Amino acid sequence: MDQIAVLKQLKSSPDGLTVTEAAQRLSQDGPNLLPESQTRGPLKRFFAQCHNVLIYVLLAAALITAILGHWIDTGVIIGVVIINAIIGFIQEGKAEDALRAIKKMLSSQALVLRDNKRITVPAEDLVVGDIVFLQSGDKVPADCRLLKTKSLQIQESALTGESVPVEKGSDPVVEDAVLGDRNSMVFSSTLVTYGQGVGVVVATAADTEIGHISTLLSQVETLTTPLLRQMADFGRLLTGIIIIIATLTLIFGVMVHGNSVSDMFLAAVGLAVAAIPEGLPAIMTITLAIGVQRMAKRQAIIRLLPAVETLGAITVICTDKTGTLTRNEMTVTNIATAGGGLFDITGVGYDPHGDFLFEDSEIDFGNHPVLTELTRSALLCNDAVLKKDNADWVLQGDPTEGALLTLGLKAGLNLAFEHETWPRTDIIPFESQHQFMATLHHDHTGQGVSYIKGAPERIFSMCDSHRVGIHDEAIDLAYWHSQMEVMARRGQRVLAIACKKSPAEHHDLTFTDIEQGLTLLGIVGMIDPPREEAIIAVKQCQSAGIKVKMITGDHAVTAIAIGKQMDIGDGKNALTGHDIQAMTDEELQQVVN
């Protein structure tokens, strides 16, 4: 749907709503807040820990021993019950605090247009039809249809699993486009990483995509774990046996031995109390608590103590991809050059350690001068910053540029030396309209060179030659398209890098300077690589008979490539959202199994 139709349907305009209209819609639709799930208060949560047949039996035993004046037994039993409740109460409280984190994902402020004036309002006051302004660093406050954009990029990994920021535009997309392909939409809780945009709010609160997730989480059906079912059955059976034996003891003592009813009643009660396993609930609770604490040390949150027992009965694990199976750190894994073929680059993430391989053998950069030039351009035509924080490398900037910066460092280039040798003179920053970034550099002898990186098709159209060794030859587009296809089949994002010499007196870089006559240095393929520990974990699960399924909002070809590297699936097929929606439950179960 185009912008005019959207505004008409939402009864809005490019000038925004009036303050009166916004107030009316806010009163009608409610605030832009995720609905609070109904949680139990502290007191109710504490007493819920005693909702167990064995605990009821212990409480009954405590009451009877108190009536009989056995205060030590009463104190021990009550102590066991209280300790059991405290352990469960504390653990459940920690888990609920962690689960509330999703409520903090909404933006706190929004810049909107009301009465044709830009004003800042609390994000909770946004209503459908509001015109919202977005810029780099903002958290999107509601689901919006974009009206205008300028180089707008959004980090949507929380919703789609896409590792790199997504370029957005205002052009309509097909009606049934999957979430990751709705390029004319921005979604609540996602982050603006670059550029600017103007959009109209189409959904707030629970109607947003993040709101749908929150609603689904709150509707998850609570199941009784096998251990609790077995303990409940055991408690009922034990209670029935104890009552029967105590009753038979009472009858036998009175009818056979002629004892008084009062004496035999006390004897039957004492027998019943002695038969109750007072330590069983405490032992079970402490054992489960130890398991929960061990899981917590491995960054796994378990809300209810008995749930830890179900981990031993798992047959299928459904896992997210981005940041769970993968590092959420873009990494260059392949480089293609003219005449040099396809090179493999080892190492993952932003750690600048790795090797350049050709046919599984480490290369000598002296024999591949074009690789030196390509990695230097990746280093210099770059605004990202890598810093070492203890043992980790932390990126400041765009993930794609972080991958290229890491590539240059892996090639053995010294960042400070290269910047000093080839200081930057001018820049054309990346914008989605022209799909490339260019920088101009001069060495201390006055020699100039422009480095350009961007979308392959755009860069190819600007090149008339490619570099082979130290010489330039006419560009062979068929060769480069074949190399792109190889990288695409591996689920890689492809970027082209080119250069052009500049005269010493040329210090201002314009579009005219680089629109033609470039020399293509090569193309690089990058991907968010699997975690080594995740690969090991998947193998361990499979060896234990546990099936692992990957769920992601990323594109199917990327999912297949990652799945193949991790031995998840057959490396050929993936189910998309459209595929699943077209299936019946029986068909889906058959395909998944």
Alpha helices in 69-205 (DSSP H): 71-99, 157-160
What string of DSSP letters covers 186-239?
Answer: E-TT-EEEEEEEEEEEEE-GGGSHHHHHHHHHHTPPP---HHHHHHHHHHHHHH
Indicate the DSSP class of residue 142: S
> Pick from 96, 95, 90: which is nearest to 46 by CA?
90
- Distance separating alpha carbons of residues 482 and 498, to the nearest angstrom: 18
- Distance separating alpha carbons of residues 158 and 109, to the nearest angstrom: 20
- Distance separating alpha carbons of residues 398 and 345, to the nearest angstrom: 20
> Pick from 485, 486, 509, 489: which is nearest to 499 by CA?
509
Q: List C-alpha distances in Å: 445 to 4, 29, 505.
A: 56, 67, 11
- Distance separating alpha carbons of residues 202 and 9, to the nearest angstrom: 10
> Is 392 one of the catalytic residues?
no
**Residue 205 contacts residue 103 (beta carbons within 8 Å):** no
Q: List C-alpha distances in Å: 522 to 32, 33, 172, 469.
A: 48, 48, 33, 12
- Distance separating alpha carbons of residues 546 and 564, to the nearest angstrom: 17
| CA 131 to centroid of chain Cα atoms | 29
- Distance separating alpha carbons of residues 131 and 144, to the nearest angstrom: 9
- What are the phi and psi torsion angles at 324 (to 5°)? -105, -65
Longest dimension (CA), the chain: 122
Which of the residues 125, 320, 344, 383 is marked catalytic? 320
- Distance separating alpha carbons of residues 585 and 134, to the nearest angstrom: 41
First to last CA, the chain: 39
List the catalytic residues: 320
